[in-house]
Structure 1
Amino acid sequence: MTDPISAAWNSLEGLQHRTLVDLFENDAARVEKLSHRIDSSLGELGSVGMLVDFSKTHLDDAALDAFEELAKACDFDGQREALFTGGIVNPTEGRSASHAALRGTGPEAEVEEAAALVDRMEILVKAIHEGVFGEIKHLIHIGIGGSALGPALAVDALTRDLALVECHIVSNIDGLALEQAFAKCDPQSTMIAVASKTFTTTETMTNAASALKWLQENGVDDPGGRVIALTANPERAVEWGVDETRILPFPESVGGRYSLWSSIGFPIALGAGMEDFRAMLAGAKVIDEHFRENSGRSNLPLLAAFADQYYTRLRGCQTRAVFAYDERLTLFPDYLQQLEMESNGKRVMYSGEDVPAPTAPVTWGGVGTDAQHAVFQLLHQGTVLIPVDFIASIAPGDMLDPAHHKALLMNCLAQGAALMAGKSSEDPSRFYPGDRPSTMFLVDDIDAATLGALIAFHEHRTFANAVLMQVNPFDQFGVELGKGIAKQLDAGEGVFDASTTALMEAAGL
């Protein structure tokens, strides 16, 4: 007897694939059905205004009905409730995932603890801004993975006009990255933030030691007093030499790629201001509430996951492209790469059995209009089908002639239209097949609240995809394998293949 999940997939796999043009021609209400706004006023913290348009995807009523049945079969409602109530949603490690509680949605005790930690961070941020540590003009934030990508995205997006403190995010163990940060900073007016969940991450702690040495060699009085620890392991930070008054902890149940909302967001608060950090939390909470309160196709992150599964599993798409038509979101595709590929790049289900189909596609992208002159040739005329997400802002990020922003938006909208419609030609080289899907995220502005909402949307989209695939999005054992072998190489332990051995000799290791 076929189980409900397999039956739902069988139903989906039997659907007829119709062209986008056909879908529009046969449903006058298509845009109304598949284009939705999220609007919320946050008072002094701003507002969230976001239009998400799925009408240029191949989802239709039949597909949506079948995907809703799949969601029921996968107990989406139960899994979602577990996420928000402290249930075990990371079964391989026996943990909950409390990042939503950091934004004010979740178990009362966790929400209260998170609010207290934000207040604690605000005290330290205020002290730095008021000169308690002397005149501080720069922060070198050292982390890797989620401890760097989220802060880098937000700092870049929110401090282009004005930074209260210039924040330099360093993640790479390549010493050149740290040297470049040093070159931009005066050691006498620089603080160091060390961001590591365990406070043992090799790359981070190596960079931290070098940064501390840089302060010492440049005559900074009490260089250790310039170090702030952002960690879920305060005891280890104390052992390393950080005073507990400069340790900003966060819960163990917050995963690295979901930690932006915790003290890992310290450089955002320091550089953009505490109000912007709180606005990001509030914007994310808007999406938390939408995701928790809406069902089926009315739940926009789940609807996005329906589209993702349609293309990955039913149409064999191995990649998904994301193009932000806004310089402020230059790092957004990089951020999504880790969020989606580390979360759902899995080969086994909760049960430990192999996933019977493809899981996460390769997430990649860039910034419009630059990308149009680099990779869009393949999107329009290549032999592979690649679903595309476009992100654009109605309000410009610049003060120049409005012609700049008008041209930017027209290019963005034109690309989506062209991908769908294509163009016939008797010349094969000038023939565009069309029927290529895209989703549009059109926000009112790229401010702190909207940025928080965009990030939270994609967190929940990632979770929804995981539920539909029955995989755990909160572990990342694949990251550990290469790191473990690197430690073996460093210790001179283990026996390796002939190629690796020869390469070690060639590199002088």
Structure 2
Amino acid sequence: MSTLTSQPQWHRLSELAASVKDAHMRDWFSQDPSRADTMQAEACGIFLDYSKNRVTDEVMTSLFELAEAQGLSAQRDAMFGGQHINSTENRAVLHTALRNFSGEPVMVDGKDVMPEVQATLDKIQKFTETVHSGSHLGYTGKPVKQVVAIGIGGSFLGPKIMTEALKPYRSDAVKVHFVANVDGCHIHDVLSSLDHEETLVVMSSKSFSTQETLQNTQTAKQWFLSAGGTQEDIAKHFVAVSSNVKAATDFGIAEENIFPMWDWVGGRYSLWSAIGLPISLSLGFDNFKGLLEGAHEMDKHFKNAPLESNLPVIMAMLGVWYRNFFDAQSTVMLPYYHYLRGLPAYVQQLDMESNGKQVTKQGDVVDYATGPIIWGSEGTNGQHSFHQLIHQGTSLIPADFMLPLHVPNQNDTHHAMLASNCFGQAQALMQGKTFDECYTDLADEGLDEDTRKHIAQHKTMPGNKPSNTLLFEKLDPVTLGALVALYEHKVFVQGVIWQVNSFDQWGVELGKELGNQVLDGIQGNAQESQFDVSTQQLIAKFRSANAPK
């Protein structure tokens, strides 16, 4: 038995789960008219209604007690304090330092990192202003009008989704295109529509050797050279976010156009760093800074608010409740706002790459479930497809609904319909529809008794499906920053509970390593015998299909 499952708080939660298993939230709401008033919290412009969860006050108290027993407060302080909580890589975890506007130092190994952070922000601001003003000229004297941002994983997903979510705040100065997939179709489609004389390429790779990113950047370079640019002209059209200055300068990038990265920032937490340069280029520096400011506000809330009113802690512990005591294998995210449609994919990487682990920090195999599957889509589209499974399927799937109260470019009817669907779906999941209610509804359908009962049985929905609802005044940069930081801290809290290292990703690293080996095999630079027979067969088929005709 692990130290987690031997905790008395864990045993108490097991007992409470058994006691509420057959209780229905519909009855709880009927018995307690104040339930929605007591099960809510608000911070940083985000309102959380968690009353539609299969929890009682006693359950919530026990969940917070488990968090304390697992050392949440101490672990949180260790992260903000620059301690090496990423134990397998012996690194600090300080994405929070990138948005630290407190004026206080942040120490890593005895050194205050804030001067470097501020210098990088200043560099991003200056470069953005140079591009937006039209004074950053290409080799033919034309100003930059198009930006191609090349990265993968956190170096791609964060910037892309943030600029997508904040589309109403985009600058007219330049248009930013994002490329990640090594599938050549993507970069071909992007580059084919651009004028190389007006294009700036931003390459984001800490090592400057990430396979997909480097290949796409090489392709962009060849496109630029083939269109008339020279090796010397690369310096005016390519910039890099990387810690490998030599590789970037050897490529042709001017050293003054290389933006730094630090080991204490993981890829999936890096949008707040110079990886966010494409965000700044797309939205303007002030809006990029707004993102950072919103995240900083959530950092302060997470550090200082009591557990029972702490948004990341509440959401994290509800997730632990369902994952470990109700065997919920996934969580669905349902943003009811078109521009926020990419957030489920962002949180999917953040959560699953962080807590998809099977051993504790001490190296012991866990005897409990860890990170859930994260998935989702924008409302109302999902209501006409996968919501069916959430309503009537056999799996318990907790849901996060989210909605801005005000949106740009919509009339009142559109937004009222959107809100009604958001609130209606959450209500339907909670209350369901009984057999008797369905049977009564069919009274005027002219059905015989057996058919009426048969159809009523198929229309019955059990309800008692849990959800959170997150509301915010509008999705501006500050609110989006706070929302993303909320999910970052939620993931951190769950990692503390499960005793896993949320900041390494060895499964990702293995895939990269084997991908490079297989590429050598495809290109004839490796012995076939080093691969299993299945992979040998697949390589052979690929080489045969692509052999010169």
TM-score (norm 1): 0.95
SS at match of 1:304: helix
For 2:249 and 2:264, locate their aligned partners in 1 and report how far apart those are by CA, in whole Å. Answer: 21
The within-5 A match list for 1:201-350 is 201-220=210-229, 222-350=233-361
Q: CA 1:85–1:179 in structure 2 vs 1: closer, same or farther (change >3 Å)?
A: same
The within-5 A match list for 1:70-81 is 70-81=66-77
Q: Residues 86 and 107 of structure 1 are in contact (CA less than 8 Å); yes or no, is this contact kept in structure 2?
A: no
Letter in 1 for 2:14: E
Letter in 1 for 2:497: L
For 2:284 and 2:421, locate their aligned partners in 1 and report how far apart those are by CA, in whole Å. Answer: 33
Could you tell me which residue of structure 2 aligns to residue 152 of structure 1? 160
Q: CA 1:236–1:34 in structure 2 vs 1: closer, same or farther (change >3 Å)?
A: farther
SS at match of 1:6: coil
Q: Where does structure 1 lack aligned partners over 5 or more consecutive residues? A: 40-48
Q: Residue 22 of structure 1: CA displacement?
A: 3.0
For 1:478 and 1:55, locate their aligned partners in 2 and report how far apart those are by CA, in whole Å. Answer: 37
For 2:4 and 2:162, locate their aligned partners in 1 and report how far apart those are by CA, in whole Å. Answer: 42
Could you tell me which residue of structure 2 aligns to residue 187 of structure 1? 196
Residues paired across the two proteins, number: 499
For 1:144 and 1:413, locate their aligned partners in 2 and report how far apart those are by CA, in whole Å. Answer: 35
For 1:296 and 1:38, locate their aligned partners in 2 and report how far apart those are by CA, in whole Å. Answer: 13
Q: Residue 218 of structure 1: CA displacement?
A: 1.2
RMSD over aligned CA atoms reads: 1.7
Could you tell me which residue of structure 1 aligns to residue 124 of structure 2? 121
For 1:316 and 1:3, locate their aligned partners in 2 and report how far apart those are by CA, in whole Å. Answer: 20
Percent pairwise identity: 37
Letter in 2 for 1:32: D
Q: CA 1:343–1:3 in structure 2 vs 1: closer, same or farther (change >3 Å)?
A: closer
Q: Residue 441 of structure 1: CA displacement?
A: 0.9
For 1:191 and 1:159, locate their aligned partners in 2 and report how far apart those are by CA, in whole Å. Answer: 20
Q: Residues 170 and 284 of structure 2 are in contact (CA less than 8 Å); yes or no, is this contact kept in structure 1?
A: no
Q: Residues 11 and 66 of structure 1 are in contact (CA less than 8 Å); yes or no, is this contact kept in structure 2?
A: yes
Q: Residue 240 of structure 1: CA displacement?
A: 3.1
The within-5 A match list for 1:423-502 is 423-424=433-434, 425-426=438-439, 427-491=456-520, 492-493=526-527, 495-502=530-537
Q: Residue 301 of structure 1: CA displacement?
A: 0.2
For 2:281 and 2:369, locate their aligned partners in 1 and report how far apart those are by CA, in whole Å. Answer: 41
For 1:69 and 1:344, locate their aligned partners in 2 and report how far apart those are by CA, in whole Å. Answer: 21
For 1:410 and 1:85, locate their aligned partners in 2 and report how far apart those are by CA, in whole Å. Answer: 44
Aligned counterpart for 1:177 among listed residues 162, 186, 195: 186
SS at match of 1:242: coil
1:22-70 deviation per Cα after TM superposition (whole angstroms, max 9, x unaligned): 332343332222211214xxxxxxxxx2111111111221111211221
1:208-248 deviation per Cα after TM superposition (whole angstroms, max 9, x unaligned): 11111111111235134211111233343233332111011
Q: Where does structure 2 lack aligned partners over 5 or more consecutive residues? A: 107-111, 138-142, 440-455, 521-525, 545-549
Q: CA 1:454–1:4 in structure 2 vs 1: closer, same or farther (change >3 Å)?
A: closer
1:120-147 deviation per Cα after TM superposition (whole angstroms, max 9, x unaligned): 1111111112223221111000000000
Letter in 2 for 1:401: N
- Is 1:407 aligned to 2:436, yes or no? no
1:340-396 deviation per Cα after TM superposition (whole angstroms, max 9, x unaligned): 000100000011001111111110000111111121111111111100111110012
Could you tell me which residue of structure 2 aligns to residue 42 of structure 1? none
Q: Residues 195 and 204 of structure 1 are in contact (CA less than 8 Å); yes or no, is this contact kept in structure 2?
A: yes
Q: Which has the larger radius of gyration?
A: 2
More deviation, 454-463/156-165: 156-165
Could you tell me which residue of structure 2 aligns to residue 6 of structure 1? 6
TM-score (norm 2): 0.88
Runs of 4 or more, structure 1, over 4 Å off, are 1-5
For 1:288 and 1:486, locate their aligned partners in 2 and report how far apart those are by CA, in whole Å. Answer: 37
For 1:390 and 1:232, locate their aligned partners in 2 and report how far apart those are by CA, in whole Å. Answer: 39
SS at match of 2:362: coil
Q: Residue 498 of structure 1: CA displacement?
A: 2.5
More deviation, 425-434/217-226: 217-226
Q: Residues 5 and 74 of structure 1 are in contact (CA less than 8 Å); yes or no, is this contact kept in structure 2?
A: no
More deviation, 52-61/18-27: 18-27
Could you tell me which residue of structure 2 aligns to residue 25 of structure 1? 30
More deviation, 209-218/141-150: 209-218
Q: Residues 47 and 471 of structure 2 are in contact (CA less than 8 Å); yes or no, is this contact kept in structure 1?
A: yes
SS at match of 1:90: coil
Letter in 2 for 1:504: I
